[in-house]
Chain A
Amino acid sequence: MIALEHLSKVFTSHGQTVAAVDDVNLEVGEGELHVLIGPSGSGKTTTMRMINRLETPTSGRITIDGRDVRTLDVVELRRSIGYVIQQGGLLPHFTVAENVAMVPRLLGWKRQQRRERAHELLALVGLPPERFADRYPRQLSGGQQQRVGVARALAADPPIVLMDEPFGAVDPITRKQLQRELRRIQGEVKKTIVFVTHDIAEAFLLGDRIVLMSEGRVVQNGPPADLLRRPAAPYVTAFIGEDRGLRALAYTSLSEVAMAVPNAVPVTGAILPGTLSLVEAGRELVAVGPANGDGFWVGDEVGNPSGYVTYRQFATEIAERLAAEGVVGESAEAVMADAVPR
C-alpha cells in the first residue's frame, strides 16, 4: 500500500513561492488503480513523481508498505516501481526488446532471461515478439511505443506502477484501445497503480478510485460513481462536465438491471454480454436492429443467458438514471431514441 501523508511541495521561481502540492493525503491499496486527475498545474504529476522520488517533498511523507521512501535507497526504490510516461520515453538506441528489459538489465539479469521476459511482456501488451522485439522505437507508431512503455514498466514485475499520462499523445481510437488493454492487463497482473491523466473519460474507465485535484489540493477522492452521484464541490461537477448523466449510464452494467430468467420467454436473438454498460447496450441494440419479442437476453461471463431485459424496462432504467442526475429534456430523449429500436 502507498500512503501519502500531509504531502506538500513548494516551488520557488522568480522570488515567488508556489505550492504545487498542498497537504495531500492519499492511500492507494494493494492491487488498486487510482487515477489522479485535474487540469494542468493541479499538482497531480508532481504528487506522483514524489512517490518514486523524482521530486522531493517540502513536507509530509510517503510510505510504501509502512516504510518511508526517504529511508530507502533511491535507485533500488525506482527499480521496484514501474514508470510509464507520455510518448513512452523509450530509449531510441535500444531495440524494443532491450527497452522492455531495461530494468531487468539494471538488476543484473542474465541476457537469455531478459530476452525471454521481454518476449513474454511484448506478447502481453499485444505486440507479437517475433515481429517487434528487434525493431527500434522509431520504427513503431505512437500507440505501439506506448505499449512498449507499458511492457517496460512491468518487466521486473514491480508491485507498484506509476503512469504519467501514458496515453496522452496518441489518437482517440488508439487511446481507447490502449485503455481497454490496460484494463485487461490490470485484471491479469493486479498491480498497485497510480495513474495521472487530464482525460475524465479515461479516469472513469480505468480508476478504482478517482482523486480529483485542483491547485495542489485534493477536491474529492472516491469511486467513480461517487463523483457522479455525490460531487463534493461544484468544482467536481464542473470538471466532470454536463454530460454526467450519460456517464452514469456508462457506469451501470446490463447485469445490474437484468431480471432473473423468465421461463416463459424462449431464448432467441442476440445475447448481449452482462458487462456492457447501458450506453454500450443501447448502441448494440441499434446496430443489431429490431428483434422479435419485447426484449433481449443478457449473458453471463461465458455467454450463457442469465437474465432478460424488456425494451420497456430498458428505456425506463435509462430515463430514471437520467432523471436522478438531473439531466432533462433533449439529451434524455436522445439517449432513449438511441437505445430503443423502433
Chain B
Amino acid sequence: MRGDPLEFITYISEHEEQFLRLLGQHLQVTLLSVAIGIAIALPLAVVVVRVDRLAKPMTTLANVGQTIPSLAILGLMLPILGIGFLPTLFALTIRAILPIFLNAYVGIRGVDRAVVDAARGMGTSNSQLLLLVELPLASPVIFAGIQTATVQNIGIATLAAYIGGGGLGDLILQGLAMLDTSVLLAGAVPVALLAMVTEIILGRLRRVVVPRGLQIDIK
C-alpha cells in the first residue's frame, strides 16, 4: 500500500462519475430493501400480534434469522437468483424484515393494556384500534426498528460487490485487489459517513413521525 491517507479524496474527484453511480446504486438498493422490508414486516407483525399461536414460532424464526451471516444469504441465493441487483436486493430485504418485524411486534404488544381496553370499550373497530391506537403508540419502537434496518443495510450493501451488485463495495474490493488504500477508502469512508448521516436524518424524521403527545420533552 502506498500514499497519503487523504488521497482517496483526490481519487473520488478524479472518478466522480463512477463514484456517483456506485453511490446511487448503494442508496437505491438500501432504500428499496428497507421499503420492501416495511411492506412485508409491518403487516406480518400486526397479524402475529392478533394470532397468538403464531407469536412464538415467528419471533423465534426472526431471532434465528438474525444470526445467519449476510454473506451466507447472498451465497445461498446465488444458484436461484444468480448475480447482480436482484439477489442483493433479496438479501438486504431479508435483513431489513427481521429488525422491523421484531420491533413492530414488541412495540404493538407493549401498548398499555389499559389504553387498549378503554379504546375497545369505547367502541373502536379492529381497524380503528390498529390505526388510531396501536400503531401510533407503538410508532417510536417501530421507527427505531426501521432506523436500525436502514443503517445496518447501508453497511451490508457493500457485500453486493461480491456478487456483482455494484454499490460502494466495488471500490472497497477494487482497493483490496489493487492494494490501493486510496481506492479502498474512497469506498469505505463514504459508506461510514452515509451510515452516520442516515442515522441523524432518521433521528430528525422520528420527531415528525412520532405523535407529539409521546415525545419526551413536551411541556
Contacts and interface: CB of A to CB of B under 8 A. Distances in A.
Interface of A: 52, 54, 75-81, 83, 85-95, 102-103, 106, 136-139, 149, 152, 162
Among A83, A93, A106, A149, max chain B CB count under 10 A is at: A93
B79 interface: no
A95 B121 contact: no
Interface of B: 112, 114-115, 117-125, 128, 132-133, 136-137, 211-214, 218-219
A149 B114 CA distance: 12
Contacts of A94: 213
A91 B213 CA distance: 9
Contacts, number: 74
A81 B120 CA distance: 12
Contacts of B121: 52, 54, 78, 81, 83, 85, 89, 162
8 contacts: A75-B124, A79-B122, A91-B137, A93-B214, A102-B122, A103-B122, A106-B128, A162-B121
A131 B71 CA distance: 58
Contacts of B120: 54, 78
Contacts of A75: 123-125
Contact of A89 (B114, B125, B211, B219): B114
Contacts of A136: 212-213, 218
A83 B212 contact: no
Given A83-B122, A102-B119, 19 more contacts: A54-B117, A54-B121, A78-B121, A78-B122, A85-B114, A85-B121, A88-B118, A89-B114, A89-B119, A89-B121, A91-B132, A92-B115, A92-B214, A93-B214, A95-B213, A106-B124, A106-B128, A136-B218, A152-B122
B115 A139 contact: no
A136 B115 CA distance: 14
A137 B124 CA distance: 20
Given A94-B213, A138-B218, A89 B123 contact: no
Contacts of B213: 91-95, 136-138
A93 B122 contact: no
A93 B137 contact: yes
A55 to B, nearest CB: 11
Contacts of B119: 89, 91, 102
A121 to B, nearest CB: 14
B136 to A, nearest CB: 5
B133 to A, nearest CB: 6
Contacts of A83: 118, 121-122
Contacts of B211: 93
Nearest to A162: B121
A77 B197 CA distance: 51
A76 B121 CA distance: 11
A94 B213 CA distance: 6
A163 to B, nearest CB: 11
Given A83-B121, A106-B124, A89 B115 contact: yes
B168 to A, nearest CB: 39
B118 to A, nearest CB: 3
Given A79-B122, A136-B213, A93 B218 contact: no
Nearest to A94: B213
Contacts of B137: 91-93
Given A103-B122, A106-B122, A89 B117 contact: yes
Contacts of B123: 75-80, 103, 106
A47 B124 CA distance: 21
A88 B121 CA distance: 12
A144 to B, nearest CB: 15
B42 to A, nearest CB: 18
Given A75-B125, A76-B123, A93 B118 contact: no
B133 A87 contact: no
Contacts of B133: 91
Query: What are the 4 closest A-B residue pairs judged by CB atoms, nearest first?
Result: A89-B118, A78-B123, A79-B123, A93-B211
Contacts of B124: 75, 106
Contacts of A89: 114-115, 117-119, 121
A152 B136 CA distance: 20
A139 B218 contact: yes
Contacts of A162: 121
A162 B137 CA distance: 25
A77 B119 CA distance: 13
A132 B133 CA distance: 21
Contacts of A138: 213, 218
Nearest to A79: B123
Nearest to B118: A89
B201 to A, nearest CB: 23
A164 to B, nearest CB: 9
A60 B136 CA distance: 38
A79 B137 CA distance: 22
